[in-house]
């Protein structure tokens, strides 16, 4: 039923729970796992010119950590075969495009990302993916009281 699972990650606690759920699903169906991190070009472009380069480096570092978490979690579950990718653009658009390009059977994502609760006011990436993806979307929320590792590092 599921041959290709795309995990959209930003390194947040919610995304980490989605990684674990998606890897369980992929293991059950012996599916290929793709982990995707998207650098939000809108976030970069909206910052002052003098800090833009620093922000891009910080986002690249965050992306590297997020993808490493997926690889390490998969390896711990005896599944070393994870395809990783980094894209730049609008996160929801890029995730849907990537999933289409790789004929994904399901996309897994957290519901609360690096920007926390204000996504409820602005519309979340997960919501956009659910609305626009042509395949099923597995959304996994961060449980109340769970720490967000991204915020703990600050």
* pLDDT for residue 145: 59
DSSP string spanning 65-80?
HHHHHHHHHHHHTT--
| Cα–Cα distance measured from residue 57 to residue 38, given in angstroms and rounded to the nearest whole number | 13
* pLDDT for residue 121: 35
What fold is seen in the domain 4-148? Rossmann fold (3.40.50)
Sort residue 56 into left (φ over 0), alpha (ψ -120 to 50) or beta.
alpha
Whether pLDDT at 148 is above 50 = no
Q: Which of 15-29, 42-56, 113-127 has the lowest mean pLDDT?
A: 113-127
Q: For 2-15, how does the pLDDT look when each residue is reduced to its tens digit (9 = 90+)?
A: 999 999 999 888 88
* pLDDT for residue 78: 73
pLDDT-based confidence at residue 113 (cuts at 50, 70, 90): low
């Amino acid at each position: 039923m599921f041959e290709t699972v795309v995990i959209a990650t930003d390194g947040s606690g919610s995304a980490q729970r989605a990684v674990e759920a998606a890897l369980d699903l992929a293991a059950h169906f012996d599916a290929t796992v793709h982990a995707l991190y998207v650098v939000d070009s809108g976030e970069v472009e909206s910052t002052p010119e003098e800090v833009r380069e620093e922000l891009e480096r910080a986002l690249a570092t965050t992306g590297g950590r997020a993808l490493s978490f997926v690889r390490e979690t998969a390896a711990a579950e005896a599944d070393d075969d994870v395809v990783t990718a980094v894209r730049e653009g609008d996160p929801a658009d890029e995730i849907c495009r990537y999933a289409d390009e790789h004929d994904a059977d399901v996309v897994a994502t957290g519901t609360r990302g690096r920007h926390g609760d204000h996504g409820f006011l602005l519309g979340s990436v997960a919501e956009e993916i659910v609305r626009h993806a042509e395949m099923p979307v597995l959304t996994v929320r961060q449980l109340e009281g769970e720490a967000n590792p991204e915020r703990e590092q600050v």
